[in-house]
Each structure stands twice: as C-alpha cells, then as structure tokens.
Amino acid sequence: MEIDAAFPPDGTTGRSLVLFEEGAANAGLEAVQEAVGVQVVTSSGENDAPAEGGGVLFKSLGVAVVDAPPEQLLQVAGDSAILAIEPERIVYALELTQYEGTTTNGQPALVPAPTSMPVTTRADAGGRSFEYLRGYRDAVLHLTDPVASDGAAAADVVTVAVDESQATWGLQATKVVNCCRSGKGIRLAVLDTGFDLEHPDFAGRPVKARSFIAGEQVQDGHGHGTHCIGTALGAKCPGVRPRYGIAYEADIYAGKVLSNAGSGADTGILAGIEWAVQSKCAVVSMSLGARVRPGQPFSQVFERVARRAQEQGTLIVAAAGNDSTRPGDIWPVSHPANCPSIMAVAALDVQGAIAPFSNRGINPDGGQVDIAGPGVDVYSSWPMPARYRRISGTSMATPHVAGIAALYAEADPSVRGAALGRALAGGAQRLSLPSSDVGAGMVQAPL
C-alpha cells in the first residue's frame, strides 16, 4: 500500500481514486465512508460524476472516486481492502478509437502520465460532459492497469492518458524531449511531396529544395511532405504548442519525388537520393513505397544504391508500408524499404502496440523491419491554412527515426552510413513484440 505523491496538486481535481482489493470493494468503501464522512454511490453507468461531498464506486473495476484529497484518506491507507489511493488527475484523452489494434497485455504505456498541468478536457463544473467522463475513465484505468497483473483490465483499453500540451507523444516516447541535441550541422533530406515553403513554423529556417516531378514546383500541394518534414525537422518552440519536430537545427533538404497527387516512380526517387548524397546529407527520409508480394525479391538497384550512399556517409530510412490490416491480413515490408541496406521503419501506437496497418518482415533475404517509431495519431505541420494535422502511418514513424538519426549524427561525427543505422538500432527501446514487427524496438534519442 502506498500513496502516490508524485503528481503535483495543480494537475489534479482534489478528488481521490481508491483502488480496492478484488472482492473487497464493499468493505473498503465502508472504511472510506467512515473516514471522510462521504456518501459513495454505485455507478449507474449514466451519471458517473461524483456529487459534491460524495463519491462513485465503479464496481466492475473495484475503484471509487471520492470527493476528498488523498491526505484526508491517510487513516484508511493501511486498510487491507485498499490497494492504492491516488489523486484524480485532469487528463487529456488521446483518441485512438479509429485503430483498435493489438493491445499489449500488461505492457506499460511508452509515455509517462502527465507530470505538468495538462490540457484539460473537463467541460463543465457539473462534470457530466462526455469529455469529462472519458478523461475520468482514463484516470481510473491509469490507476487499475499496473495492479491488474494479468492485464485483463487493459485489454480493451483504446485510450491512454497522455499530456501533449508541450510535446507530442512521439517526442516523449522517443525521449527526444530529454535530449540536448538539435541536429546542428547535419543535413537531412526528406524525399516526399515537397514542402510548404510559407509555413510560419519554419520562418527563417534555411531550406534547400528541389523538385524531381516534371511540371511541379517544390511547394507541397498534398500535405504529406510538410507533415514528414515537420516531424523530422520542426522547430523546438513552434508558434503554437506542442513541439512536434525533432532535429530543429538540422539543415532542411526538401526533395519532391511524389507529385501533388501523391504518386511518383523509382526514377525520380533515385534522382532524389543522388541529390541528397551529392549534397552530403547524413540522412534521407523516405515515407513512400510500393506494395510487395510474399516471396518477391528486393530491388538490386536500390540495394546497391543504398550501399553506395552509406559508403559516402548517407543513411536511408524508409517506411515499412501500410498494406496490412491486422491481425488477419499482414503484408511484407514495401519497396524500397525491403532492401537490406535501407532501414525499414514500422509504426507503433502510444501504448507501444504495433499499428494495425504496419507491415511485417516476411520475405527472406532482407525484407525485415529494422526499427519502429511513433506512427499512430501523429501531430505535425500541414500546409497553410490548416497549419497542423494528426495522421497515422509508417510514413509518420519514418521521419521520427530520420530526425533522431540526425541527433546521433551530430553527437558523433564518425558515425555515418551503416554505422549510423547500427547506432539507431542499438539505442532502441526493446519491446515485448516480435522483431519481425518492430525490429530492434522503439527508436530512442541519444542520451
């Protein structure tokens, strides 16, 4: 039995969450009611907000929310029916309802619970709004998850409490927010749909840009490229919080190899890689690909090009592809990420689960997933006037790896090409998921 005092009062509601021993909710509740003199009612499922001076018991969870701060419950903390008492937090509910993918039984979320004042979604003092109840449920789940030894309580959870008011969940899960590196002096090329050259978050940043699409300017008429550049290279302090960019002082090389309609071809991509190698970019990020059938070999041309690029100090990372619909339909890593010398990036969600669309290392002779990055519900820049957008895909995981590669490259000028790829894999956070799905694990910024 412990009282969690780690959370500052200003991120809390003044109420307490009380977790009861299984089957002992009634006994524990009596002790609580006696101690603080409040009336706790059982949840009806309709009006679950505790009335002032009262409380609500969630019988199936074995959790009560009591209108009294944890300090007032100290005298019952030793009661055998009570497992934990914590302050009720104000939380921001990060919706993942579109992607009810594999959950990781018992595996902790990749992002710590909020430790600073989060964006509140509590809408009215009566506390009956949907948003309040949702945040409230998340707080309850946060309390019950670590105690539920078999993970059963977490198995159907599709939301996780994450404070994204200051930085995106991806920058937290990869520990970019704790890293002192900025990518300064490193050139990073993003080969994509171009870039919104007028985006206010990049005002004053030097940008080298080139279009490899006949008849189209670099200006991003799609959005995908601007989103990827935002993640890999966005500002440390953008005009509007949260921070979403990683290598905020790296040099931006925006190569347009996909048209505004989102299509491109090997010829333009190879020309873009050549440009990046000649420009001495340490990292090339390619959030693109073509579907590969089981058994289909990788491209000899791209493999040799990637090795030649590495020998000249350029590491290529590429999206593993979004062809899968897990759990039933899983496709191999896409072209050209399936080349052994191109780093293939899978997508994870905020809980550390593999994204349902993320491809798997199925084909022999290369074709493996090398590493994984945040790729579900990723917030980043989007062409004006929208400015920002949340989307998902291995396309979004890839620039996380590319941006972090620039941080490693800055940290050690001798680490380039294949060695940079090994540094990324070596520093990844191991996950309890098959390496065919996530490779070395979740990419992590250098210490």
Partner 1 sequence: MDVTILVADDHLSDIDGVAAALREAGLRVTGTLPSTGVITGAVGDEAGLESIAAVDGVAAVEPAQQVEIPPPDEPVQ
Which residues of the shown chain bind partner 1 in the complex (CB under 8 A)? 98, 193, 222-224, 227, 258, 262-267, 269-271, 273-274, 277-278, 287-290, 299-301, 304-305, 308-309, 312, 322, 335, 357, 391-393, 395-396
Question: Smallest distance from the beta carbon of 364 to partner 1, in angstroms?
Answer: 19
Question: Smallest distance from the beta carbon of 52 to partner 1, in angstroms?
Answer: 40
Among 142, 224, 335, 400, the one annotated catalytic: 224
Nearer to partner 1, 50 or 255 (CB): 255
DSSP string, 172-241: HHTTGGG-----TT-EEEEEES-B-TT-GGGTT--EEEEE-STT--SB-SSSHHHHHHHHHH--SS-SSS
Identify whether 329 is a catalytic site residue: no
Identify whether 227 is a catalytic site residue: no
Identify whether 395 is a catalytic site residue: yes
**Are residues 263 and 197 in contact, defined by beta-carbon separation less than 8 angstroms?**
no
Q: How far is CA 295 from the centre of its chain?
A: 31
Least Cα distance to 383 among 264, 188, 224 occurs for: 224
Among 192, 201, 251, 377, the one annotated catalytic: 192
Nearer to partner 1, 62 or 393 (CB): 393
For 329, the token pair is 């339909």
Among 334, 358, 392, 395, the one annotated catalytic: 395
Whose tokens are 């798997």? That residue is 360
- Distance separating alpha carbons of residues 288 and 345, to the nearest angstrom: 11
Least Cα distance to 108 among 351, 373, 349 occurs for: 351
- Distance separating alpha carbons of residues 323 and 337, to the nearest angstrom: 13
Task: Return the sign of the alpha-carbon dihedral for residues 266, 268, 271, 272.
Answer: negative
Question: Smallest distance from the beta carbon of 249 to partner 1, in angstroms?
Answer: 26
Nearer to partner 1, 21 or 216 (CB): 216
Question: Smallest distance from the beta carbon of 307 to partner 1, in angstroms?
Answer: 10
Question: Smallest distance from the beta carbon of 258 to partner 1, in angstroms?
Answer: 6
For 158, the token pair is 């599709």
Nearer to partner 1, 122 or 208 (CB): 208
Nearer to partner 1, 262 or 366 (CB): 262
Q: Which sequence positions are flagged as catalytic?
A: 192, 224, 395
